[in-house]
A and B are shown apart, each in its own frame.
Chain A
Amino acid sequence: MKILIISISMSLCFSQTTTFKYQETFTKKKLFKQYVANTLPGYLFFGPYSFMYGVALGGGAISQGESPKNANTLWLATPLLAGFLVNTASKDIIKNVLNKPIKNDQSSTFYYNIYYMGPDISNIKDIQFESKNGDWTAQIDEVPSGFDYPPLGLRTGFVTDRYGMDYELSLIAHHTIEKEVIYEYFSPQTGILPLAQRIPSHFYMMHSMFMGLNVYYVLPEFIVTPYLGIGGGVLLNSVQSEYPGPADLARQGETLALDEMNWNYGAHSYLGFRLMMEDSFYYVELRPSIYKFELESGTSFNKTRDRFNLEAFQFQFGIGKSIF
């Protein structure tokens, strides 16, 4: 008992802090680095993890006979909830970082967080199928695609008078639209053979998590601040379908016949316009993007390796807030 009382009394002494007359001050640049170091790992770890969990939940919903839209809702809600939880859990740490005294900083660099929505016009192009046993190949020129929910994302970075840079995490979902497509089938036995196939809506449900970097050049200001940039990063792609694959359209009622996930990459360029306020800004960006997909689909003889590009023209609308 005595030891316990002594320990408690001593711990009270240890927990006391000395107030220094001269507190250490930090530059915004240094604090921004600390901010990124404290926030990014959480998003990079829990983001893909929750994305995968959301994909599994969405797939499970399809298996239970839910509509693709409901499955997409479940998919989207999961990483958004995880993002909210990561944000809440790291709030105190962030507060401690941002509450540190800042040196009289004359730099015009603006450090920001952006939250955005990016509806787009998209097509799936250059679709190539290659039979796993090498007996045949097929290709489709183009399939139109749409979305149930527009891409959502967050960006954290900085902008100076002339250039800017940010990292971006976004959730992207597209699906094929009902369409009669022609496969150009080729095998040594048949030669080239055009084959018609009507594919239903949501034949492919494509979900991606994009994690990448953007750099941009700031153009002269005219009421709004225009800028031009490029970006790229890795994609965690999921492709799901109620059908085994494009070469195998025997629907497996209320089951998820195709559920593939793998890594790939995406890239984009953009032109944006920012309306700057004191501590925030609104912006719109026009963004041509390309997302690469690769997966295995089908069953037995129809098992194929599929490759395609999702090409989109995104209209990104967002709000940016100063970190400090």
Chain B
Amino acid sequence: MNNYLTVIINIFFISTLIGQNYDPDTGLITYNPKKYISLFIGYGTGDFNLSAESAFSDPQNPSERLWKADVSDVATTLSKPQIVLKFGGWKGWQGAEMELSYIGQKIPSQIVYYDSHGQIYIPPTSEYPDGYYYPVEPQDSVDLEDGFLQFNLFSISGTGYANMHLSEKIKPYFGFGFSFGLNNVSSEYPGPGSYAAKNVMAAFGYDIKNSDKLNTTDFGAGFHIPFGIKFLLHEKLFINPEFRFSQNFLSFGSSDAYLKERDKGTLQSFHGSIGIGIILK
């Protein structure tokens, strides 16, 4: 392991020397700074972890929520190709980019496990004039339809990266960036919590199809770790295959009336994309 690390560090430092340029006027060794614009298109896969809780307090313990539910490792797929527009530059081994990106993901058809606890409030009926608190238990087979949740993430992010000048034409890099943006979450159903409770609530006259469909837009944040290679085709043009691991943190309100819930989720994804860039100067 140590040997691999030593090799990587050596390549990195040697690569920084290749990026240097001798200026005959001043006699100094300088770096060649570059600025560029690039456009990427990509594909990937991911998963979604959700924590949902009731918007209401537990009457017996007001500091607690009425119910809570967690769903882990829900597989997600891209519903539309990922598109990224980058504005960046490098100077020697340091590079920085600002990017505008769109990612469209969805939850495909699958069966998931809801780790749910607490109670659901059933509004007053003739049988229960004061309403009724129905206990909630973990559910091991919630059948999610294809596109149960659709995610449309519009982000602006900043990335810093280490630029390795492996040769004059080949420049691998790796980096780290933060993103901030608008997250739209939509569904044919009111929300993840009410969807899981639909069978329970149906016994009390609740029909999930009568509720408003989820369509909410909130802001959120995230981070990403890109790594890729810039191949300079000629002085002004490069192609750029890139892989990136990213996590986006979502927070939104969903479902209606007595099932109103607060949802927090982490959308984790791994993307491969190909970009084409123009060097400005």
Q: In the complex, what distance in Å separates the CA atom of A222 from the CA atom of B97? A: 11
Contact status B257-A196, CB under 8 Å? yes
Contact status A192-B182, CB under 8 Å? no
Cβ of A186 within 8 Å of any chain B Cβ, yes or no, is: yes
Contact status A182-B260, CB under 8 Å? yes
**B57 to chain A: closest residue by CB:** A192
Contact status B262-A182, CB under 8 Å? no
Query: Which residues from chain A contact B35 at a C-beta distance below 8 Å?
Result: 220, 222
Check A288/B62 contact, CB under 8 A, given A184-B56, A192-B56, A194-B131: no
> Which of B121, B123, B180, B280 contacts A271 (CB under 8 A)?
B180
Query: Which residues from chain B contact A271 at a C-beta distance below 8 Å?
Result: 156, 180
B contacts with A: majority SS: strand
B204 CB to closest chain A CB (Å) equals 14
Contact status B156-A186, CB under 8 Å? no
A87 CB to closest chain B CB (Å) equals 34
Q: In the complex, what distance in Å separates the CA atom of A142 from the CA atom of B56? A: 11
Cβ of A119 within 8 Å of any chain B Cβ, yes or no, is: no
User: Which residues of B (179-212) have their CB < 8 Å from a CB of A?
Assistant: 180, 182
Q: In the complex, what distance in Å separates the CA atom of A48 from the CA atom of B187? A: 44
By the criterion of a CB under 8 Å from any partner CB, how many residues of chain B are at the interface?
27
Query: Which residues from chain B contact A184 at a C-beta distance below 8 Å?
Result: 55-57
Query: Which residues from chain A contact B87 at a C-beta distance below 8 Å?
Result: 222-223, 226
Q: In the complex, what distance in Å separates the CA atom of A182 from the CA atom of B260? A: 8
**B156 to chain A: closest residue by CB:** A271
**A186 to chain B: closest residue by CB:** B62
**A288 to chain B: closest residue by CB:** B219
Query: Interface readout for A259-302 with B: 1 if CB under 8 Å, 0 if not?
Result: 00000000000010000000000000010100000000000000
Q: In the complex, what distance in Å separates the CA atom of A123 from the CA atom of B182? A: 14
Query: Which residues from chain B contact A220 at a C-beta distance below 8 Å?
Result: 35, 89, 96
Check A182/B219 contact, CB under 8 A, given A141-B55, A226-B98, A313-B182: no
Query: Which residues from chain A contact B280 at a C-beta distance below 8 Å?
Result: 222
User: Which residues of B (222-281) have their CB < 8 Å from a CB of A?
Assistant: 253, 256-258, 260, 262, 280
**A140 to chain B: closest residue by CB:** B55
Cβ of A8 within 8 Å of any chain B Cβ, yes or no, is: no
Cβ of A219 within 8 Å of any chain B Cβ, yes or no, is: yes
Query: Which residues from chain B contact A134 at a C-beta distance below 8 Å?
Result: none
Q: In the complex, what distance in Å separates the CA atom of A2 from the CA atom of B59? A: 94
Contact status B258-A141, CB under 8 Å? no
B91 CB to closest chain A CB (Å) equals 11
> Which of B62, B123, B253, B258 contacts A142 (CB under 8 A)?
B253
Cβ of A89 within 8 Å of any chain B Cβ, yes or no, is: no
Contact status A182-B62, CB under 8 Å? no
**A125 to chain B: closest residue by CB:** B253
Q: In the complex, what distance in Å separates the CA atom of A234 from the CA atom of B131? A: 44
Query: Interface readout for B59-86 with A: 1 if CB under 8 Å, 0 if not?
Result: 1001000000000000000000000000
Query: Which residues from chain B contact A223 at a C-beta distance below 8 Å?
Result: 37, 87
Cβ of A36 within 8 Å of any chain B Cβ, yes or no, is: no
Interface residues of B (CB under 8 A from A): 35, 37, 55-59, 62, 87, 89, 96, 98, 121, 123, 131, 156, 180, 182, 217, 219, 253, 256-258, 260, 262, 280
Interface residues of A (CB under 8 A from B): 121, 123, 141-142, 180, 182, 184, 186, 191-192, 194, 196, 219-220, 222-223, 226, 271, 286, 288, 313
7 interchain residue pairs of minimum CB distance:
A141-B55, A222-B87, A192-B59, A142-B253, A191-B59, A184-B56, A288-B219
